[in-house]
Amino acid sequence: MTISNVAIVGAGRMGQGIAAALAFGHVAVSVVDLRDRGDSTGSYLQAVEASIRSMLERKVILGLLHPTDLEEVLDRVTVVSAPEALTAMSSAQLVFEAVPEIMEVKRVALSWIENTVEDDVPIASTTSSFLVTDLYEFVSHPERFLNAHWLNPADLIPLVEISAGVHTSELAVEATRELMIAIGKTPVTCSPSPGYIVPRLQALVMNEAARMVAEGVASAEDIDRAVRIGFGARFSVLGLLEFIDWGGCDILYHASNYLRGELGERFSPAELVESNMASGRRGISDGQGFYTFDPLTVDEYQARRTAEFARILDALGELPRYGDLVPAT
């Protein structure tokens, strides 16, 4: 089924970004503000519209959207309050719930959504921490309920982490995945496990960065510079597991044991790192690790990845030209 009409319940940061992404992807979208705002309803809805407009104007500035197409994209977006939303909800083919990360607020929103949409319409919560399995109790049709975790800013970041619980139907998952692909996003799937993929990984490194500031290891500015042009730039091309294979699982294994001794148990090597070490799966050097490397194509593969890395660094203005560098006198 091609989805061309979506509702987003929750008109904040994520709701607005998701609306911009969908409208940009040729999907009609109704953004519903559930909160009762009394006399300020009109001005709030206008502010939401203005914010979505400015996200799309930035795409014009970036050359991603032709200026003459801007109004056509904006025409796909309607921002409404709950009492005005019943027609939009009854014609929605998929709904994203994007209200604040408070269980009771999610409960009220999901119950309202279920009462306003057709029975077979998939409902995806955008929650960044509650699991789809935690939220099942708030819906009466769990087969159409799942989690679609967009990253912030949602109008730009391609990744959407989709997680389904045991009761979620394959149909609901596929509909959401296909919609994401149709609007140019990249869906990945993960089990309903705390932190999904990105929040779990980033919680570890963000906390470690804060610990380094507290310990006086480096300034916040230097840690962030190191992340932007070293750590982050590299991992925008190579996956974490792919880089274990590049650098060598043995290096990670020995480094982890050293760091565990110096900094604590949180640096222990993972069981899979230990077993890859023990079974001769150290990565490129062994022809296998988390991935398998064909000796005939490994050079071409590494050259391609390195070229992608160079393009990222160049786009960040971090790749010097030979002619820019002068010999020391």
* Token digits of residue 195: 């932190």
Compute, in degrees rounded to 10, the torsion defined by CA atoms 128, 134, 138, 143. 90
Helix, strand, coil distribution of the chain in percent, nearest 5: 55, 10, 30
Are the CB atoms for 123 and 93 separated by under 8 Å?
no
* Cα(79)–Cα(49) distance, integer angstroms: 7
* Cα(222)–Cα(88) distance, integer angstroms: 49
Select the residue whose beta carbon is closest to ligand NAI and give its number.
Answer: 12
Q: Is 202 in the site for ligand L7SNNMKT (CB under 6 A)?
A: yes
* Cα(36)–Cα(47) distance, integer angstroms: 16
Identify which of residues 203 and 251 has a Cβ nearer to ligand L7SNNMKT in the complex: 203
Q: What is the residue type of 48?
A: V
- Residue 67 burial (C-beta neighbours within 10 Å; 0-12, 13-18, 19+): exposed
Total residues at interface with ligand NAI (CB under 6 A): 20
* Binding partner of 220, given ligand L7SNNMKT, ligand NAI, none, CB within 5-8 angstroms per partner class: none
Q: Is 105 in the site for ligand NAI (CB under 6 A)?
A: yes
The one-character DSSP state at 185 is: -
Q: Which long-range contacts (CB under 8 A, 24 or more apart) does 128-133 make?
A: 128/101, 128/199, 129/101, 129/194, 129/195, 129/199, 130/101, 130/103, 130/106, 131/163, 131/165, 131/192, 131/193, 131/194, 132/163, 132/164, 132/165, 132/168, 132/192, 133/165, 133/166, 133/192
Q: Which of 12, 187, 232, 247 binds ligand NAI (CB under 6 A)?
A: 12
Identify which of residues 10 and 25 has a Cβ nearer to ligand NAI in the complex: 10
Q: Which of residues 25-44 bind ligand NAI (CB under 6 A)?
A: 33-35
State the minimum distance, in angstroms, from the CB of residue 132 to ligand NAI. Answer: 12
Q: Which of 152, 191, 219, 292 binds ligand L7SNNMKT (CB under 6 A)?
A: 152
Identify which of residues 123 and 244 has a Cβ nearer to ligand NAI in the complex: 123
Q: Is 11 in the site for ligand NAI (CB under 6 A)?
A: yes
Q: Which of 3, 8, 15, 249 binds ligand NAI (CB under 6 A)?
A: 15
State the minimum distance, in angstroms, from the CB of residue 163 to ligand L7SNNMKT. Answer: 13
Q: Which of 60, 70, 197, 198 binds ligand L7SNNMKT (CB under 6 A)?
A: 198
State the minimum distance, in angstroms, from the CB of residue 80 to ligand NAI. Answer: 12
State the minimum distance, in angstroms, from the CB of residue 321 to ligand L7SNNMKT. Answer: 34
Applying CB under 6 A, which residues contact ligand NAI?
10-15, 33-35, 98-101, 105, 109, 126-128, 150, 152
User: Where does this chain bind ligand L7SNNMKT (CB under 6 A)?
Assistant: 128, 151-152, 198-199, 202-203
